[in-house]
Structure 1
Amino acid sequence: MVAGQSLGGLSAMYAALEFPDLVSRIAVQSSSFWWTPEAMGGADPLGGPVGGAVAARLRDRNPDLSGLRVAFDVGEHEARMLPHCALVETLTEQAGATVRVSRSASDHDRAGWREALLRDVAWALA
């Protein structure tokens, strides 16, 4: 089980994709799915391709994620994050993962993550 928020959520997703024999459950909140290797050098890191490098990887490699259980959460007030997260959620489910999607009444902050983390880890481990 791996969990994370923001860049930690991105890292948790990469752990599941890179090490499917070790990571079969993840819970991620407000994941930085906008990230690409070039994003941090740009004027607007969130303005790149929707879903960033994770979406590209899911489309290009077409992995079998049937052994993965993922709880996704992102804050309703994270308007610029929502499209990135929504695409990765959809592609992950299409790749065979068991997916739960939630939207918290929060922004990109610990106040929203604390309840989502407990709820989503419990679901992922069920």
Structure 2
Amino acid sequence: MELDFKNIHIGNMIHLQVEQNQFEMTRICKFMKSSEKEIKAMYLQKDLPTGILLRWSKLLQYDFFRIYSQHLILFAPQKSSARVYVKQTEDKKSNLPQFKKNLYTKEIIDFILELIRTGEKTKEQVMAQYNIPKTTLYKWLKKY
């Protein structure tokens, strides 16, 4: 199954990871401190609270938060388009850690290249929609 970074259904992704790794329901219930009925309800949820998602990430040894980070890389507006907001907050220093936005993971690169290979998007459309520099895209195409 290919990940849909635009429309994330985290419950479904958790359920797929559980099935793939053949986790026993009793182990899941014990770790999550939930009943079987509550676990099955989580599989149907599009979104889950971060505390619960953190527990799933630990149990399944899979970083479900990275899916959301990759969504931000692909679909969040660039700083230049949010210029008004940036100007208002420029003078303020954040107490939160600052992360680089443009860290392209292997999954992101594969996702982008698949769009081009299948003809779903042209190189120009990819560069425009996802703000990927031309040189970066061509390096990916050559390397992968």
Q: Please identify which structure carries the higher helix content.
A: 2
Q: Which has the higher contact order (CA 8 A, sep 6+)?
A: 1
- Who wins on radius of gyration, i.e. which is larger? 2
The TM-score range, normalised by the shorter chain, is: under 0.3
What TM-score results when the alignment is normalised by the length of structure 2?
0.25
Task: Write 1 or 2 for the structure with the bigger share of strand.
Answer: 1
